[in-house]
Amino acid sequence: MTIVQELKKPNINKKPDFTTGSILNNCFKFNCIKCESELELNLENQIKNLWLGKTENINVEEEIEAKTFYRIGQFRKATDGGLAVFDKIKCEKCKAEYVTYCGVNEFSNSAYNVIVQGIALIEE
């Protein structure tokens, strides 16, 4: 896996894209840079995978490469102070693939914030 282009870069000052209990915005939408199709990152799914640090869409090797790229250390501390969770999204139309990096923060018991820190176009 090679990171070809960053669509969204990590930043310490980002506000949460999703908070537990919100009805709206449980998906982060962005456009495929190759074909303009609308793609969705399910933010509740990042919370579900908080302890694993990755969803089932991304394999262990790809996760390691993403961690290296985003400089996530062994304690998985995200740019925003939460824990890093990685996912992968495929554009069904043009088959472009993206790796995503979110910071998930449990700010009180069972209540979470999700911040989308990174989205990057990848190639095998």
Interface ranges with Zn ion (CB under 5 A)? 32, 34-35, 37, 91, 93-94, 96
- Residue closer to Zn ion (CB basis): 52 or 94: 94
Return the structure tokens found at 47. 């919370």
Between 3 and 64, name the residue whose CB sits nearer to Zn ion.
3
* Cβ-based neighbours of 39, under 8 Å, separated by 6 or more: 29, 30, 31, 32, 89, 91, 98
Owner of token pair 């995503």: 100
Q: Which residue, 47 or 89, is less far from Zn ion as judged by CB?
A: 89
The nearest distance, CB 110 to Zn ion, in angstroms, is: 36
